[in-house]
Amino acid sequence: MTATLDRSVAPTTHTALLQWVQECAELTQPEEIVWCDGSPEEWTRVTDLLVETGTFVRLNADKKPNSFYCASDPTDVARVEDRTFICSRDSADCGPTNNWMDPDDMKALLTERFRGSMRGRTMYVIPYCMGPLNADEPMLGVELTDAPYVVASMHIMTRVGTAALELFTKDGKDDQEFVPGLHSIGAPLAPGEPDVAWPCNDTKYIVHFPEERLIWSYGSGYGGNALLGKKCYSLRIASVKARDEGWLAEHMLILKLTSPAQKSYYVAAAFPSACGKTNLAMLDPTLEGWKVETIGDDIAWIRFGEDGRMYAVNPENGFFGVAPGTDYHTNPNAMRTIAKGNSLFTNVGLTDDGDIWWEGMGEPPAHLTDWKGQSWTPGGDALAAHPNSRYCTPISQCDTKAAEWDDPRGVPLDAIFFGGRRRDTIPLVTEARDWQHGVFMGATLSSETTAAAVGKVGVVRRDPMAMLPFIGYHAGDYFAHWIEVGKSADAVKLPKIFYVNWFRRDEDDNFVWPGFGENIRVLKWAIERIEGKAAAVDTPIGRVPTPEALDTSGLSMGAEELTTALAVDLDQWRNEIPSIEEWFAKIGDKVPSSLRDELESLKLRLG
């Protein structure tokens, strides 16, 4: 039986929305259409259903109230960058870092995939808003999905349901824009066919039509592929909108830093996935008197305020953090947040007493069920949790959230950090001389690959502004946009840009910097630079702290390690140049001349 849209029960009069839901239902042929209201009752209904179908295991309420364990299909554990497409009208608007296909061809191809793809399943209509509901221009979206896992996750990660839907017809007008996103796991059920715990399709497509501000996602149920408000909307589609409108949509955490003198600063920081962004966003400072509060851990929308400063808003409502390595030592605030419950855990280990465990979370239990559903005991080869396993938890229950976290005006940025995971070459922290130099640092950002995306781990790749998989248009145009945004502003009001690397290693392959809570020392130096108080050495690559300028009080760190952490090794940098040249050559003619000038002057300074 196929459902048709019954307009008399649809909770909206928005013509374009009704039209689109009807077309998608006709195409995908679900058994039922459910409009999501975002209520606690809906959460209960959907999570109960997921328990019933075996997708979720309810955790022990004494350990993690109102929380669930979930294991995906072992082939559906990360974003699929080679299956992610930007289907701009003109291929020149897509560029060499994205996959492109003509939008008409892609639609023709995917239409056949979507035809009947929801048979035997429910189509959920999820209205949502990215960023605060009371924004001047609320950023609306609707996801149609046949995955109840997506409904539960969107409840946490976005402002979802009736409160969002009411904004679609604000002031009685039927014309509010929204980003439509069609998602299907691509696993229709024949009548009587039993379901599996994590249905998905071997063929996956994560597709963006930037001019139409439209998303089609097929075949995967995993976070970044399936929760369309996140990377698809808030980065790929939003980056295009931001280019058109003169702002920035970035893969950045946002934090508030308060000094012992009770002065507050706001910092945004871009790191590739699984490089400690969430840990930095929730940093528990080891230096007396400093306080860090969290505004966001993954995405920042940066717009100019009336005072000419850059203001950052976190469009999300939850954290979708990498689980392994998270514990009371590395990220106590994340641990306290999830301990309050109301959370989803995907691809972690399930303990025998109904709690969760992952590598890095202290002592392992004597026995658990691993993410593949196998019996697991410590000491073997198998991992309890997949390296890209995730916790999904509401920001509202994070003790260290800043009061401003859902302020629609955002927070004025004092500094932007770019960072990657590099075992050599990149010092602990480098300050850019000016905006253009900072954009050069961001545009040439490099990192060793992690488990957050399917593919080989540990290979150095350029990841501009940590946006490589998320730029919704040509990377060269994106660099030019960053340069333009800086030019359009009063230079003294722009945030200062810094390049950090927590992951440098010594000859014995040990990390030289302790990281985690100790990263406050680097933040402190950056703030003191902004205040004009801390010393730095001018090097060919930018300004690096003198060893004395970095507060290492109480840190058991040898002078030698500190020297290695801060070293600007000219030979390593000379080695770096060909790979930067190769990178610019790959981007091609669209690399702005100002960035080519930066490269040339860097080469001159390196001799």
- Which residues would be at the binding site for ligand SAT (CB under 6 A)? 79, 223-224, 230-231, 273, 298, 320, 452
Give the count of beta carbons closer than 10 Å to the beta carbon of residue 185: 27
Nearest distance in Å: CB 46, Mn ion? 25
Q: What's the length of the chain?
A: 607
Residue 518 annotated as lining a ligand binding site: yes
Nearest distance in Å: CB 42, Mn ion? 27
**Partner whose binding site includes residue 159, from ligand SAT, Mn ion, none (CB under 5 to 8 Å by kind):** none
Q: What is the DSSP letter of 530?
A: H
Spatial separation of the C-alpha atoms in residues 430 and 522, rounded to whole Å: 10
Contacting residues for 598 by C-beta, under 8 A, at least 6 apart = 436, 437, 440
> In the numeric block, which tokens belong to residue 283?
């940093």
Strand partners, 499: 418, 430
Angle ∠(97,102,104) on CA atoms, nearest 5: 150
Nearest distance in Å: CB 227, ligand SAT? 7
Residue 607 annotated as lining a ligand binding site: no
> In the numeric block, which tokens belong to residue 288?
């007396």
Q: Interface with Mn ion by CB under 5 A: which residues? A: 273, 298
- The smaller minimum CB distance to Mn ion, of residues 273 and 294, is found at 273
Answer for the pair 405, 295: CB distance below 8 angstroms, yes or no: yes
Residue 218 annotated as lining a ligand binding site: no
* Residue 275: active-site member: yes
Catalytic residue, chosen from 87, 275, 392, 398, is: 275
**What is the full DSSP assignment across 542-562?**
EEEE-TTTS--TT----HHHH
Residue 161 annotated as lining a ligand binding site: no
**Partner whose binding site includes residue 410, from ligand SAT, Mn ion, none (CB under 5 to 8 Å by kind):** none
Nearest distance in Å: CB 251, ligand SAT? 7
**Partner whose binding site includes residue 223, from ligand SAT, Mn ion, none (CB under 5 to 8 Å by kind):** ligand SAT
- The smaller minimum CB distance to ligand SAT, of residues 271 and 498, is found at 271
**Partner whose binding site includes residue 79, from Mn ion, ligand SAT, none (CB under 5 to 8 Å by kind):** ligand SAT
Give the count of beta carbons closer than 10 Å to the beta carbon of residue 172: 6
**What is the full DSSP assignment across 93-139?**
GT-TTSB---HHHHHHHHHHHHTTTTTTSEEEEEEEEES-TTSSS-E
Beta strands in 81-240 (DSSP E): 84-86, 122-130, 139-145, 159-160, 179-184, 205-209, 214-218
Residue 222 annotated as lining a ligand binding site: yes
Nearest distance in Å: CB 272, ligand SAT? 8
Backbone angles phi, psi at 96, to 5 degrees: -70, -10
- The smaller minimum CB distance to ligand SAT, of residues 224 and 427, is found at 224
Residue 390 annotated as lining a ligand binding site: yes
Nearest distance in Å: CB 229, Mn ion? 13
- The smaller minimum CB distance to ligand SAT, of residues 200 and 428, is found at 200
Residue 311 annotated as lining a ligand binding site: no
- The smaller minimum CB distance to Mn ion, of residues 201 and 343, is found at 343
Nearest CA to 140 out of 153, 152, 151, 131 is that of: 131
Q: Which residue's Cβ has the minimum distance to ligand SAT?
A: 224
- The smaller minimum CB distance to ligand SAT, of residues 320 and 473, is found at 320
Binding site residue list for substrate? 79, 222-224, 273, 388-390
Give me the active site residues, please.
275
Binding site residue list for Mn(2+)? 231, 251, 298
Binding site residue list? 79, 222-224, 231, 251, 273-279, 298, 388-390, 421, 516-519
Binding site residue list for GTP? 274-279, 390, 421, 516-519
